[in-house]
Structure 1
Amino acid sequence: MFIDKKVIIAEFIKRPNRFQAYVKLNGEELMVHVPNTGRCREILVPGSKVLLREEVNPTRKTLYDLIAGYKDNKIINIDSQIPNKVVDEALKNKKIGHLAKYNIIQREKTFGNSRFDFKLSNDIGEEYYLEVKGVTFEVDGKSMFPDAPTDRGRKHLLELIETKKMGFGAGVLFLIQMDKIKNFSPYDDMDKAFGDALRLAYKSGVNIFAYECEVGENFITLNNQVEIIL
């Protein structure tokens, strides 16, 4: 998908809290919004290059969103709103082979007490529920999730297990928001409970997908499937 708003390069200065950062743009220091509550410490390094997306909205406190950073010449998209949009595009273009048979794609659908990112179905009545997790943490080509403890993420996996037990299709897709990735694993050192839940989901028949992305300054699209090591 293409980013249809103006994107510019700035220099990262600091991030005083989860939602705000300061950057240097044209010699001026200004505050920007960070659309990601994860830590992103290995990306948002003082002095590094970052990408800003212009958001012209009179009700906003900031003019820009910090949507990506450069790490060793690799662009890593950190916009938490992007993964669902990228996966939606990929589903419609039949780029996820296992899910290509579903021609009806619905976003943010409730099932019982759960709310999933996607409900997929087709003309013969098959239903499939899909959760999407954006991945921004990488070390030497190895990607991991989460980069901060996530009880909410663990609950999503347990909800997918229950959905599978009821006879519906269920899966979680880890969208790695960068390219040149060797493999994906749960980040047990950060959140062992999430890793245990992911392994339980796999044993319970929940599909686990991991895809890297092709990323540029003004685009991001789902690309190659990545090996999963649980």
Structure 2
Amino acid sequence: MLIEKPVLEAVFVKRPNRFQGYVVLEGKEIMTHVPNTGRCKEILIPGTTVILRKEDSPERKTQYDLIAAYKGENLISIDSHIPNKVVQEALINKMIPSLEKYNIIMREKTFGNSRFDFKLSDDIGSEYYLEVKGVTLEKDGIASFPDAPTERGRKHLLELVEVKRQGKGAGVIFLIQLDDIKAFTPHDETDPEFGEALRYAAKNGVDVFAYCSEVTPNSITLKREVQVIL
């Protein structure tokens, strides 16, 4: 997907809280919005080159969103609003072979006590619930999720198991917001309960997908499937 608003390079300075980041843009230090509640501490390092997206809303306190950062030569998207849009584009364009039969794509649909990112269906009435998780954590070519404990994420996985028990399709896709990834694995060091829930879901028939992305300063596109190691 293309980012249609203007994008600019800046240099990261600090992140005093989850939603605020300070950068140097054209020689001046300014405050930006960080659209990611994760820690991103291995990405947002002082001196790192980052990408800003210009926002024009008069109601905003900041003029820019900090949407990506370089880690070496690799650009990592950190905008938590992006993964669902990328996956939706991929579903429409039949880029996920296991799900290409579904031609009806609906966003934000409820099942039981959870609201899932997508409900997919086809012309004969088959239903499939899909949850999307954006991934920014990477080490030595291995991507991991989460980078902070997520009780909500664990709950989604257990609810997907219930979807399967009721005879419907269910899956979770980890959209890795960078390229050059060899494999994906749950980050048990940060949240062992999420890892246990993911393995439990997989054993009970929930599909677990992981895809890396091609990221440029003004675009991000689903690229290829990577190995999942549970």
Per-residue displacement from partner, 1:86-128 (whole Å, max 9, x unpaired)? Answer: 0000000000000000000000011232210000001000000
Alignment of 1:52 onto 2:52: yes
Offset, 1:200: 0.1
State the secondary structure of the residue aligned to 1:224.
strand
Q: Is 2:53 the counterpart of 1:41?
A: no
Matches within 5 A, 1:18-97: 18-97=18-97
TM norm structure 2: 0.99
Distance (Å, rounded) in 2 between the aligned partners of 1:108 and 1:74:
31
Q: Which amino acid aligns with 1:178?
A: L
How far apart are the structure 2 equivalents of 1:36 and 1:67?
Answer: 9
- 1:61 alignment partner, SS class: coil
Aligned residues: 230
In the alignment, which residue of structure 2 is the partner of 1:16? Answer: 16
> Over residues 162-197 of structure 1, what are the superposed CA-to-partner deviations in whole Å (9 max), with x where a residue is unaligned?
111111100000000000001000000000000000
Question: Structure 1 residue 204: deviation in Å?
Answer: 0.4
Amino acid in the other structure paired with 1:121: S
Letter in 1 for 2:35: P
Instruction: Tell me the SS of whatever aligns to 1:44.
Output: coil
What is the CA deviation profile of residues 35-63 of structure 1, one whole-angstrom value per residue up to 9, with x for unaligned ones?
A: 00001011100001000000100000000
* Contact in 1 for aligned 2:144/2:185 (Cα 8 Å): yes
What corresponds to 1:193 in structure 2?
193
SS in 1 for 2:87: helix
* Over 2 Å off, 4+ runs: none
The answer for unaligned runs of 5 or more in structure 2 is none
1:221 deviates by 0.3
Where structure 1 has 5 or more consecutive residues not aligned to the other structure, the ranges are: none
Tell me the percent identity: 67
Residue pair 2:141, 2:182 contacting (<8 A) in 1 also: yes
What secondary structure, in the 3-state scheme, does the structure 2 residue paired with 1:148 have?
coil
Residue 219 (structure 1) aligned with residue 222 (structure 2): no
Question: Is 2:166 aligned against 1:130?
Answer: no
1:109 aligns with 2:117: no
Alpha carbons 2:112, 2:159 under 8 Å: kept = no
Residue 161 of structure 1 is matched in structure 2 by: 161
Q: Deviations over 1:122-166 (max 9, x none)?
A: 100000000000000000111000000001100000010111111
Matched residues in 2 for 1:2 and 1:12: separation? 23
Instruction: Give the match's secondary structure for 2:17.
Output: coil
Q: TM-score, normalised by structure 1?
A: 0.99
CA–CA distance in structure 1, aligned partners of residues 11 and 72 of structure 2: 15
> 1:177-226 CA distances to partner (integer Å, 9 max, x unpaired)?
00000100000000000000000000000000000001101000001100
